[in-house]
Amino acid sequence: MVTGPATYWGGQVVRWLVADPDVELIVGLDIKTPDVRAPDIRAPDIKGPDVRGPDGTGPNVLVDRTEYVRTANSYAALASVVQRTQVDTIIHASLLVNSTATSGRALHEVNVIGTLNLLAAATAATSVRQLVVKSSTLVYGSALRDPAWPREDLARSSPARNDLERSLVEVERNLAEFAHDNPATLVSVLRLGEVLGPDVDTAISRCLGRGIAPCIAGFDPLVQFVEQQDALRALELVIGRQVPGTYNVAGDGRLPWSEVASMCRARLVPLPPLLTGSVAAVLRRTGLLDVPPELLTWLRYGGGVDNQALKRAGFAYRFTSAGAVERFAQASQVASQSWRPASHSSDVTA
């Protein structure tokens, strides 16, 4: 089962599973109806009739060995779908990581209540043997005295400052309790860093793609990225090899935000260091600049995580942070042909 098949990440996971002849049944559960004919999924033509979903919110769409079920924000249909299909693996790819994409209430329903319903379904079903969750390094937050390279076992240094971070922290706390109480179920959590790629839509990628780099006056933080293909390959690794544990997913090294702007030929647009959130909210409401609250501390203090645990699990990154930015800039056609990235070897995790 894949939650969030209408998202980029869930759609890619469905695409891999459809291509695997050993997978007997794929169930996609989402609050939206996925475009099953989209090229990023590449599923066969629809061959079965539409029927109402088990929670009555939308149709099931049958695609070869794949069944899509539309559900409510809370994913209330999970228990009945898992019980009916007896799936052995659940890939939870529907967690929201952009607070401006939905309301605070919907954010809590999708992230917290949806995950609780998922865990309840997995607990009740004896068939579930593997649970993979796509999370975010936003669980660490960003503060002045944070370590440069926090590891997966490090607790955040300050309370969550916004609804999104609070929801992700609560989700991971519930996941840890589930893993402790259900040792027979293999649980993997991937904390993705700031992802850059031509197919990934984030607040940062939208700004850089428009040639705009929001910043906070007086601050030039060191930031870290992961290239979209590396993020996808990390998901594929833990799903295919059944690798348990929690892992940061981010490229080697960090680089100054001003250099990211230069590489992408984006103009730095400063926000005031005082009342930053209020000014950003006004710009967001007027449609001039979309900087979610969770990114304001990132633009002030930067961010980076230790990525060694995933390497020890057998993963090899193809792109550093600087390489991810360069690849994004080239794909966005905003970098010159002669540009070459500077070396950041001194800022690579040991």
pLDDT digits (tens, 9 = 90+) for 59-69: 444 456 788 88
Among 264, 272, 265, 306, smallest CA distance to 291 is for 272
Alpha-carbon torsion, ordered 248, 249, 254, 259, to 10 deg: -140
Residue 248 to residue 115: CA distance in whole angstroms: 20
pLDDT in the model for residue 146: 84
Per residue in 133-173, pLDDT tens?
A: 999 999 998 888 888 899 999 888 788 888 999 999 999 99
Task: Write the single-letter amino acid at 66.
Answer: T
Per residue in 93-131, pLDDT tens?
A: 999 998 887 777 889 999 999 999 999 999 998 899 999
Residues whose CB falls within 8 Å of the CB of residue 120, separated by 6 or more in sequence, listed in order: 78, 79
* Cα three-residue angle 118-124-126, rounded to 5 degrees: 110
Residues whose CB falls within 8 Å of the CB of residue 126, separated by 6 or more in sequence, listed in order: none
- For residue 108, give the 3-state DSSP assignment: helix
CA atoms within a 13 Å half-sphere pointing along the CA-CB vector of 91: 25
Residue pair 133/175 in contact (Cβ under 8 Å)? The answer is yes
Read off the pTM: 0.87
pLDDT in the model for residue 63: 53
Per residue in 15-46, pLDDT tens?
A: 899 888 899 999 999 988 776 544 343 333 32
- Domains recognised in the chain with CATH numbers: 2-45+56-330 (3.40.50.720)
